[in-house]
Amino acid sequence: MSKEKFLITGFSGFVSKHFLDYMERNKIFSEVLGVDIAESSLVQDRYEYVSWVFKKINLLNKEDVERVITEFKPQYVLHLASNSSVAMSWKKPVESFTNNTNIFLNLIETIRLLNINCRVLSIGSSEEYGNVSTDDLPLREDHALNPVSPYAVARVSQEMLSKVYVDSYGMDIVLTRSFNHIGSYQKDIFVISSFAKQLIALSKKKGEDKDMTTGDTSIVRDFVDVRDVVHAYYLLFKKGEKGQLYNVCTGKGTSLEHAIEIMAEELRIKVTHHTDAALVRPNDNKIILGSFDKIKRDTGWQPSFTINDSLKEVLNFYLKME
């Protein structure tokens, strides 16, 4: 049986692992080349239907990119590689912007020059929408963009580059604006995983004094379970329209305050929290909530996990690590 060939950048991140798990669960025979600047912790013998190889490369190195694409000749490219922390983009704006924009440009320009016939999934972010009025919700793909962080500006640039390569060179690129996805194996530099670790530590603390430090917990996000996200990505490879852009979201908003309450209740504890001004981002988006009507229409995808399902999964992951 022939195998589908996937090149996955940012292979060492948590989304890549869940994408491989999705293909394994669905018995999709596939050959994967994973590339990343960081080492991978995946275990080879976990998979029966997915065979994969990892290569540590820097996507800014044109010779390395050309070599792996020439040798592998992918049918599909899942471009996950990025400095994906909004908070980090405020601390290192130059590094965040230049890295995220240039690795993508290096990748698609190499594919173009080598004339590789493949579909590229360009992963963008809901952060591109910026600050919006509640009257604009839920956000649809044709809404005006107003990025308010260095990270978001880089994602808009990647999106615009995608459009240029589709329109000018006929490349097969499908784009996403993926909303905040959460799940097991996500690093604790991200807000939900960070809260989960703090709450678990508090649950083991003796006494009634259970106080945690947070940023602004009034902000509302459309959290998508990573298991739903990778399902969306696979369907977009198969059914998404060339040059089209798709929100990957749930259509439901959850405040960080409520996320804390859900996890605290799951752990059967009561907590208080105080805001550390150092953790509050400049000009942060107050509410992000999307519509998934377009991706549902074109691929049939819709979210299947609730926010409670996702938060419980994150908690269980960190509890097992204790």
3-state per-residue secondary structure call for 185-214: CCCCCCHHHHHHHHHHHHHCCCCCCCEEEE
Nearest CA to 125 out of 215, 40, 224, 214 is that of 224
How many CA within 13 A on the CB side of residue 123? 24
Fold held by 4-183+223-249? Rossmann fold (3.40.50)
The distance in angstroms from the start CA to the end CA of the chain is 42
pLDDT average, residue stretch 67-95? 92
What is the distance between the alpha carbons of residues 23 and 302, in angstroms, rounded to a whole number?
18
What is the distance between the alpha carbons of residues 302 and 224, in angstroms, rounded to a whole number?
11
Residue 25 has a pLDDT of 97
Q: What are the boundaries of each domain within the chain?
A: 4-183+223-249
Higher pLDDT, 309 or 212: 309
Residue 300 has a pLDDT of 98
| pLDDT surpassing 80 at residue 312 | yes
Residues 180-209 pLDDT 10s: 999 999 999 889 999 999 999 999 887 766
pLDDT average, residue stretch 37-61? 91
Residues 104-151 pLDDT 10s: 999 999 999 999 999 999 999 999 999 999 999 999 999 999 998 999
Residue 275 has a pLDDT of 73
Residues 253-304 pLDDT 10s: 999 999 999 999 999 998 888 776 566 666 677 889 999 999 999 999 999 9
